[in-house]
Amino acid sequence: MGVRRVGAFNVSLLGKWCWRMQMEKEGLWYRVLKARYGEEGGRIREGGRQASIWWKTVRHIREGLGVGVGNWFEDNVRRVVGDGRNTLFWYDNWIGNLPLKMKFSHLFDLAVDKLSLVRDMESRG
């Protein structure tokens, strides 16, 4: 009859937007969201109270909130660091299964620039 599980279908479509935000940094929608909310550490800012419901939902999907299956997006997407310009040193899972801010919480507390990219940290030695 063509009836879909609307909730699961919506989550998968929003997951596609999460993917596009990571992969298509020069794309039109990324540039529109960047102009509206700003960018910090290679990511579009949360937006606070001024954020649209759609943008809040996309961010929640990316963070694994409200979908009932844990950290759905991060658990099903593999990160390739490459040159490190799109990977946050402390916040992204790029070594092992936990972000470095959780593995090394005392070092994270001492870090001056908590939004450093892997590329930045590598260039500092």
In the prediction, which pLDDT does 77 show? 67
| Residue range 35-66, pLDDT digits in tens | 988 887 677 888 778 888 888 888 877 776 65
* Helix (H/G/I), strand (E/B), else coil: 43: strand
For residue 69, what pLDDT is reported? 55
DSSP helix/strand/coil, 112: coil
Q: How far apart are the first and last CA of the chain?
A: 60
**pLDDT at 74 (0 to 100):** 67
In the chain, domain spans: 6-76, 79-125
Residue 117, CB half-sphere, CA atoms under 13 Å: how many? 14
Please give the angle made by the CA atoms of 58, 97 and 72, to the nearest 5 degrees: 30
Give me the pLDDT at residue 48, please.
79
Positions of the chain with pLDDT under 70: 1-4, 41, 64-79
Could you tell me how many residues make up the chain? 125
